[in-house]
Amino acid sequence: MFPKETALLPAIILVPLLGALFNGLFGKRLGKGVVSTVAVATPLIAFFFAAAVFFGLHAADHGPLFSDTSVLVLKAKEGSTTSNLARRLEKAERSLAKRDDLFAAPVVEGKRVLRLVGPAGLADDVRLQTVAQRHSLEIAKAADAAPRSYRYNLGTWISVGNFKVDFEFVVDRLSIILMLVITGVGFLIHLYSTSYMGHEKVGTYARYFTYLNLFIASMLVLVMGGNLLLLFIGWEGVGMCSYLLIGFEYEDPAKAACGTKAFVVNRIGDMGVVLGMFCLLVALSQGGPDIPLSLDFQHLNMALGGKAQAGLVGLGCLLLFFGCTGKSAQIPLHLWLPDAMAGPTPVSALIHAATMVTAGIYLIARMSPIFAGAEVIGVPVLGIVALVGALTAFFAGAAAIGQDDIKKVLAYSTVSQLGYMFLGVGALAMGAAVFHLVTHAFFKAVLFLGAGAVIHATHTQSMRRMGGLKNYMPTTYWTMAVGALALAGFPLLSGFFSKDMILFSALMRAKAEGAHWIWYGLYFLGLGTGFLTAVYSTRLIGMTFWGDYRGGGPGGRHPHAAPSAMASPLFVLGLLSIFAGLLGLPALAAWMKGGAELLPHYVAPVVAQASSALNGYPAPDSHIFHSYEKAGLLIGSMAALCGVAVGWKFWGSKPPSKITWESQVTGSLAGVRQVLANAWYYDEWINKRFVQPAVKYLSGLLWEHVDDNAIDRGLVDGTGRVAVQLSLFTRVFQTGRVARYAAYFVVGAVVILACVHLYSISH
């Protein structure tokens, strides 16, 4: 009864890992053809495996019910003799044991009940027996309602006292969605890269695909890891791949420095994750000596979640969120993502837009039962998450308007959209946040890949030297236009639905919190961001594709259309950007007559729910809920349309030529533009306030104390001094007189014997 899907779990990770290993070791010798075949095939295979697991999960959810087993247990107890009963209980337990692969919660609970029922039944205590029976049936029914998942345990990793960490992969509804996005979008981007990197030398080419495959494997470890520590391996793995790929062209010191910056900023966040992990462990250990100290998500969520928690748990959650701000580029650690654009463009699409940067959202959604109740000095942690998310969304969205580098626009846009997701997560709308994560992965990937095609064609990243590309590369134009409209939240495209769902949940949260002004403020910040998003999306398309071509110059070549290996992923992702919104459209589910579940609802059972955590939350089918929903949709589309209109007015109707560009913005607007182009001067501020003093202090410390005193005087001179002193002392004993040597020998023997004797009598 061991489902074959379970065996696929390690294979899903192993396939890209082996691909990386193969390309890393032999790629250089085997040539580009072999390298690209292996590199493109591995994420595709992983995608098919993940799809098989997805359908397996779906079948398991609609397969035999847990209560069947429970009924078996109950039947075993009815009017049976004691020996008979024991035998049947054993049989029932065996049938339960076969279900170990499914999500443990119901099974573990069922086994507990069996243990409870077993002795009670044997004790012939009728009253206790009835209580236990009722209890077991209730749990069985609850277990039937819970969605299934797969577990695959590769063995124990760490076991110290009652602290235990397993090398265990878990796939449930949340992780399978991310796995499909990672492998699916990953495959398309690998395919695109074969053409984008095609002009590189074969060694560089192999290195690139090695890193990219390694990234896919690490990201899969991140989302499939069953405990916090295993997730952290993936977390660090993707950070390393990100570093390697940002500084991919390491001969250029500026690009290598960008990689270092991303790495260092991420390490600061990772410190938060580690400290948060410690806090949660200590909080667990305070529950008593019998509680197993496991970092398993399910264990953590069950032990610490579901109730209001201040103190260590709150602090731990806040620290974990600090880690998320590092990985997912939120204030205060968002400054690395725009610099990450130094990497090749497909990397920006895959790692710095679609997958890695969403790890923070995944982490909070994964641990949402704990986050939902966590508080720090009276402030709910999720409130902080929402506030940070909304502020980041707004400020980064504004900064995106001021950028002239096409990739920087998309980078700030990504920071802004991630802020949206954190707003959704903070408003306890995990499903909506994951929905936006998926749609964002599609439309941001198409935008980045399109930008890559544009850069490939024009050999510049500055939008001032583009323009008029509509006629040269129509495929890229249309797919990017769809992506930009989806990003802008243009009605009926994917971004519209997901963004609206997040804003709506913020509004609902405001309502539930007794119309707290902060939540209304967050809602309006989100709405404003929607407007800004539409403005910069239109600006991006306008400056790149409309008007006349401003690049080239005398004798310059005309830009060429994207080759087919680059165009086909654009097509697929463009289509997904249009239709992915249907995944969350209520009308679709009604049409499918319950056969399919909406993406946000699909995820809902495995994450914390707003309605269960809050009182005063409007019921999903109440009148007030629907009127708010309609109003929200209307206001959201208004904001998007206004933004598109403003963008059209400034950059669409009459695109600036190269000469008039600088004079276009004058007066007070020029100052605003300056601030936005420099992204609110945050980088400069951090540099002046934190980096430079730290560098100054640390270099002084290292030079004066570590290098001069410790290394030069202590280690180098010290070694010599110690040797001289030691030999001055020992030379006294080397006299050449045999009798004296013999005396030393005897004294030594006596001392050793005395020690042995003293030791033996003391023990």
Partner 1 sequence: MNSLTTPDAIQIIAALLFCIGVFGVLSRRNLLIILMSVELMLNGANLSLVGFAREFAHLPGKSESAQVMVLMAMAVAAAEVAVGLSILIALFRHVRSVSVDHPQATTLRD
Residues near partner 1 (CB under 8 A): 734-739, 742-743, 746
- Using CA atoms, how far apart are residues 63 and 19, in angstroms rounded to an integer? 35
- Which residue lies nearer to partner 1 by CB, 1 or 738? 738
At its nearest, how many Å lie between partner 1 and the CB of residue 744? 10
At its nearest, how many Å lie between partner 1 and the CB of residue 758? 19
List of residues 6+ apart from 558 with CB closer than 8 A: 472, 549, 552
At its nearest, how many Å lie between partner 1 and the CB of residue 121? 58
At its nearest, how many Å lie between partner 1 and the CB of residue 750? 10
- Which residue lies nearer to partner 1 by CB, 126 or 746? 746
Q: ∠ CA(461), CA(466), CA(469), 5° rounding?
A: 120
Tell me if residue 462 falls in helix, strand or coil: strand
At its nearest, how many Å lie between partner 1 and the CB of residue 720? 25
At its nearest, how many Å lie between partner 1 and the CB of residue 749? 9
Dig out the tokens for 595 from the structure.
């056969």
- Which residue lies nearer to partner 1 by CB, 623 or 737? 737
**Element containing residue 753 per DSSP (H, E):** helix 738-762
- Which residue lies nearer to partner 1 by CB, 514 or 736? 736
- Which residue lies nearer to partner 1 by CB, 698 or 749? 749
- Which residue lies nearer to partner 1 by CB, 590 or 738? 738
- Which residue lies nearer to partner 1 by CB, 694 or 742? 742
Q: Which residues pair with 404 in a beta bridge?
A: none
**Element containing residue 380 per DSSP (H, E):** strand 379-380
Tell me if residue 375 falls in helix, strand or coil: strand
Phi, psi of 266 (to 5 degrees): -65, -35
Give the closest residue to 367 by CA, choosing from 419, 440, 428.
428
At its nearest, how many Å lie between partner 1 and the CB of residue 752? 15
- Which residue lies nearer to partner 1 by CB, 377 or 739? 739
At its nearest, how many Å lie between partner 1 and the CB of residue 735? 8
Q: ∠ CA(111), CA(117), CA(123), 5° rounding?
A: 145
Give the closest residue to 567 by CA, choosing from 457, 440, 437.
457
Sign of the dihedral defined by the CA atoms of residues 324, 330, 333, 339, in that order: positive
At its nearest, how many Å lie between partner 1 and the CB of residue 745? 9
Q: How far is CA 119 from the centre of its chain?
A: 46
At its nearest, how many Å lie between partner 1 and the CB of residue 736? 3
Q: Which residues pair with 555 in a beta bridge?
A: none
DSSP 622: S
- Using CA atoms, how far apart are residues 192 and 205, in angstroms rounded to an integer? 13
- Which residue lies nearer to partner 1 by CB, 593 or 737? 737
- Which residue lies nearer to partner 1 by CB, 701 or 753? 753
- Which residue lies nearer to partner 1 by CB, 84 or 734? 734
- Which residue lies nearer to partner 1 by CB, 123 or 742? 742
- Using CA atoms, how far apart are residues 2 and 219, in angstroms rounded to an integer? 26
At its nearest, how many Å lie between partner 1 and the CB of residue 756? 16
At its nearest, how many Å lie between partner 1 and the CB of residue 740? 9
List of residues 6+ apart from 18 with CB closer than 8 A: 42
Dig out the tokens for 154 from the structure.
């590769």
CA dihedral 698, 702, 703, 706 (to 10 degrees): 160
- Which residue lies nearer to partner 1 by CB, 624 or 746? 746
CB atoms within 10 A of CB 496: 23
List of residues 6+ apart from 130 with CB closer than 8 A: none
- Which residue lies nearer to partner 1 by CB, 587 or 738? 738
- Using CA atoms, how far apart are residues 702 and 705, in angstroms rounded to an integer? 6
Give the closest residue to 46 by CA, choosing from 175, 214, 199, 217.
217
SS (H, E, C) 139-202: HHHHHHHCCCCEEEEEEEEEEECCEEEEEEEEECHHHHHHHHHHHHHHHHHHHHHHHHCCCCCH
Cα separation values, 508 from 420, 491, 514, Å:
16, 21, 10
- Which residue lies nearer to partner 1 by CB, 79 or 736? 736
Q: Is residue 424 a contact partner of residue 432, using CB atoms and an 8 Å limit?
A: yes
Q: Is residue 149 a contact partner of residue 5, using CB atoms and an 8 Å limit?
A: no
Q: Is residue 423 a contact partner of residue 390, using CB atoms and an 8 Å limit?
A: yes
- Using CA atoms, how far apart are residues 38 and 187, in angstroms rounded to an integer? 11
Dig out the tokens for 99 from the structure.
């279900």
Instruction: Report helix angle 474-488 to 494-512, nearest 10.
Output: 10
- Using CA atoms, how far apart are residues 433 and 37, in angstroms rounded to an integer? 35
At its nearest, how many Å lie between partner 1 and the CB of residue 726? 19
At its nearest, how many Å lie between partner 1 and the CB of residue 757? 14
Tokens 């902060």 found at: 518
At its nearest, how many Å lie between partner 1 and the CB of residue 746? 6
At its nearest, how many Å lie between partner 1 and the CB of residue 739? 6
At its nearest, how many Å lie between partner 1 and the CB of residue 753? 12
- Using CA atoms, how far apart are residues 269 and 321, in angstroms rounded to an integer? 9
- Using CA atoms, how far apart are residues 73 and 133, in angstroms rounded to an integer? 9
- Using CA atoms, how far apart are residues 503 and 427, in angstroms rounded to an integer? 9
- Which residue lies nearer to partner 1 by CB, 154 or 751? 751
Give the closest residue to 446 by CA, choosing from 510, 493, 492.
493
Give the closest residue to 333 by CA, choosing from 459, 465, 239.
239
At its nearest, how many Å lie between partner 1 and the CB of residue 732? 14
- Which residue lies nearer to partner 1 by CB, 517 or 729? 729
- Which residue lies nearer to partner 1 by CB, 564 or 734? 734
